[in-house]
Structure 1
Amino acid sequence: MAPKFHLFDKGPRPVAPFSHAVEDDGWVILTGQMPTDPNAPDAPLPDGIKAQTRRVMDNLALILAELDLDLSHVVQCRCFLTAFERDYALFNDTYKSYFLEGQLPARTTVGVTALAVGALVEIDLIARRPQEDA
């Protein structure tokens, strides 16, 4: 079976040439999301790491919902922060609030020098469909 490439009208406007998600054999890989508002893509970014993290997580959840999935299906996240030392603790507080206790996905978090659209945070993820749906 060939991979499925998904680009959703309700999803955040891509800031580069990519699909929102690619699905193959039950695995779903979501492109890194920025803290842009899907309903107002030209609006200024939210202020601060907490607000930007919420927007990114909401964008990821929106894309997952388009695929009939949710954050409970996430098995791995990669997180990118432009001000790692300053923002790491506040980022973690916001990030973990999106997952059930004891069901945190595997994760890598790295500091980077810059992100698209001047964002403080970007997150991509891998989700897995339940086997009966794959």
Structure 2
Amino acid sequence: MIPTGPRPVAPFSHAVESDGWVILTGQMPTDPAAPDAPLPEGIEAQTERVLANLELVLAGLGLDRSHILQCRAYLTRFERDYAAFNETYRSFFPADRLPARTTVGVTALAVGALVEIDCIARRP
């Protein structure tokens, strides 16, 4: 668990590491400083918060976004939000360093979120 990381919404670790592989649990768009506050409005704001939360977890492990190899994203309103999600997501990574990614439409996510993202990173 990362002390500065978001409060978990279920029983899990923020990340698990084995042999340099780091598996980051899917992050929600909750505010670590105010975990009971309402979620940000809209897919762009929620995506930004999720990516910021992933960055907090990475930083707590001495890593950063350059160590991310793969992401999985889950969207509750796939057809409506996919394009806007992609624009926000794209801004998080350098154009020449996009990780592999899968995006899945789902019927619901914890805390009523529109988006959740998990990642696999590798320690150099």
The TM-score range, normalised by the shorter chain, is: over 0.9
Q: Distance in 2 between matches of 1:127 and 1:110?
A: 20
> Corresponding residue for 2:122?
128
Secondary structure of the structure 2 residue equivalent to 1:95: helix
Secondary structure of the structure 1 residue equivalent to 2:6: coil
Q: Distance in 2 between matches of 1:124 and 1:105?
A: 12
Q: Distance in 2 between matches of 1:109 and 1:45?
A: 21
Q: Distance in 1 between matches of 2:60 and 2:49?
A: 17
Residue pairs, 1:16-95, within 5 angstroms: 16-95=10-89
Paired amino acid for 1:53: T
TM-superposed CA distance for 1:101, in Å, is 1.1
Q: Distance in 2 between matches of 1:27 and 1:100?
A: 22
Paired amino acid for 2:115: V
Residue pairs, 1:86-105, within 5 angstroms: 86-105=80-99
Secondary structure of the structure 2 residue equivalent to 1:15: coil
Structure 2 gaps, min length 5: none
Q: Distance in 2 between matches of 1:78 and 1:42?
A: 25
Q: Which has the larger radius of gyration?
A: 1
Query: How many correspondences in the alignment?
Result: 124
Map Cα deviations across residues 38-97 of structure 1 (whole Å, 9 max, x no partner): 000000000000000000000000100001100010000000000000000000000010
What's the RMSD between the two structures over aligned residues?
Answer: 0.4
Q: Structure 2 length as normaliser, TM-score?
A: 0.99
TM-superposed CA distance for 1:36, in Å, is 0.1
Paired amino acid for 1:94: T
Paired amino acid for 1:43: A
Structure 1 gaps, min length 5: 1-6
Q: Distance in 2 between matches of 1:77 and 1:118?
A: 21
Determine if the alignment matches structure 1 residue 13 to structure 2 residue 12. Answer: no
